[in-house]
Amino acid sequence: MYGFVVATVDATLVPPRSDRPYEGMLNITTDITPMAGMEYDAFGVAGATESREREALFDRLLERAIRYTEAVDREALCVIAGKKVWSVNLTLHLLADEGAAFDAAVLAGIVALRHFRRPDVSIADGEVIVYSPDERVPVPLACHHMPLCVTYAVFLLRPKTDEERSLLHAQSRTAAPKDEGMDVDESKDSLVPVDVPVALLDPSLLEQTLAHTSITFVINAQREVCVLDKAGGAPLPYQTILALLGDAAKRAAELAKLVEKALADDASHRIVSVQ
């Protein structure tokens, strides 16, 4: 991942929404400035329209990846039904977009939510009592699962020989189909080579710009596909998409293990005795 993202989380007690009295809230805010890259500069080369489109796409994908996938149990954020719930605010600051920034943003957001601790509360005579960390140990958020993002930049290359084709398939993360790679030209009764998709994991900004297309998966450690996004670009055969999906599942499982280990190490350093 080449993106640099800082994530912050805070929580406040607020009245619930009238249509969801038993659920808390998870709000996601992104802070993208021209410092992240000239692509986000409204007065730069990209222009205001393209800059806003990039920001809107970034916001929409984050909402789909974290909030719409129910990563956080919003019912567990309810304190008094119809009166008080926790409103959790996740803010993501994109400092630099050098490629796969969305992957970094989802990872930073999920780790921040898993690491966050809200104040413990109790209810007395219908009133909510909020305890400071000195009085009671803060409580972690209840999370259903941990969605993680994996992005590929895909190049469509046309080999000149069978040896080049085998080399491309060996270097690519896309599986080499048995009967694909050759289209029959009936007029000449000969085999004509077709493009071979070569996928790059965690592409840099230059690789994403030069690629024929890109595809993004949001998937958890249980191999459940939460989001599949492919906005434009060259079409891909379904065999390629399935091959990349399998590779993305392995990558998500590796990231999940790293996150769990980092959280466990941090928790071990925060253990304090309570008298």
The residue extents of the domains of the chain are: 4-144, 150-254
Which is more confident, 72 or 187? 72
13 C-beta neighbours (distance < 10 Å), count: 18
Closest residue by Cα to residue 159 from 187, 192, 188: 192
> Looking at residue 176, what is its pLDDT?
44
Helix (H, G, I), strand (E, B) or coil at 131: coil
Residues in the chain: 275
**CATH assignment of 4-144?**
3.30.230.70
Which phi and psi angles does 9 have, rounded to 5°? -135, 135
Place of tokens 């590929």: 152
150/170 Cα distance (integer angstroms): 21
Place of tokens 């060996």: 170
Chain segment 191-236, per-residue pLDDT in tens: 444 678 889 998 988 888 899 999 999 999 899 999 999 978 889 9
pTM over 0.75: yes
Chain segment 160-171, per-residue pLDDT in tens: 777 776 776 666
Q: Is 132 exposed, middle or buried (0-12, 13-18, 19+ CB in 10 A)?
A: exposed
Chain segment 166-187, per-residue pLDDT in tens: 776 666 666 544 434 434 344 4
Residue 96's alpha-carbon distances to 38, 87, 156, 208, in angstroms, are 10, 28, 28, 15
